[in-house]
Amino acid sequence: MKLASILLGGNLGNRVENLTLAIQLIKENCGKIIHTSAMYETAAWGIANQPDFLNQAITIETSLSPEKLLQQLLSIENKMGRKRSVKYGARTIDLDILLFDDAIINLPNLQIPHPALTQRRFALIPLTEIAGSTIHPIEKKTIQQLLLDCKDELNVKKYSAITY
């Protein structure tokens, strides 16, 4: 069994329900959920004029290969209505493999560790919560250290659906 860290995100529809459903589908199709971060709200990255995203990181234990895991995640995105029309555009769900054990994979459709992980606080903050001491296999630094080094200034705040 291998450990994979996945970032979930979305900014269309009921964001909390979408993340919850995605986790359920990952559990059913990909492997056992080991860790789940809190949800974090972030302004859109790449294209600013769109709704804020909710992001959450999970770690799963899986028997799938990285390629099969990617196929399953893309299938889940498709089932949940993900449309790939505009890069960095609004979406119901986005599922990205951040880490897969200490694998380094560089294929046309799959790069692990995720190539933008070190530049995105919205990924590093929830990942630090559940895997802060994990060593990035290329950078040779902990996820927590990568967060401290990150130059991204996008505001990332813990999300609470409760309003007063």
pLDDT tens-digit profile of 84-143?
Answer: 766 766 889 999 999 999 999 999 999 999 999 999 999 999 999 999 999 999 999 999
Q: Is 149 a catalytic residue?
A: no
Cis before 113 (ω within 30):
yes
Q: Is 152 a catalytic residue?
A: no
**C-alpha 89: how far from chain center:** 16
Distance CA 161, CA 97 (A): 26
Q: Is 82 a catalytic residue?
A: yes
CATH number corresponding to 2-158:
3.30.70.560
- Measured CA angle at 25 (ends 19, 26), to 5 deg: 85
- Of the residues 52, 82, 101, 102, which is catalytic? 82
For residue 4, what pLDDT is reported?
A: 98
Name the nearest CA neighbour of 8 among 107, 114, 153, 155.
114
Q: Is 96 a catalytic residue?
A: yes
Q: Residue 10 burial (CB < 10 Å; 0-12/13-18/19+)?
A: buried
Rounded to two decimals, the pTM is 0.94
- Of the residues 96, 120, 121, 152, which is catalytic? 96
Q: Which residues pair with 112 in a beta bridge?
A: 105
Q: Are 121 and 2 in contact (CB under 8 A)?
A: no
- Annotated domain spans of the chain: 2-158
The mean-pLDDT minimum among 12-16, 72-76, 84-88 falls in 84-88
- Of the residues 94, 120, 121, 152, which is catalytic? 94
- Of the residues 91, 120, 121, 152, which is catalytic? 91
Q: 162 pLDDT exceeds 60? A: no
- Residue 109, Cβ neighbours under 10 Å: how many? 8
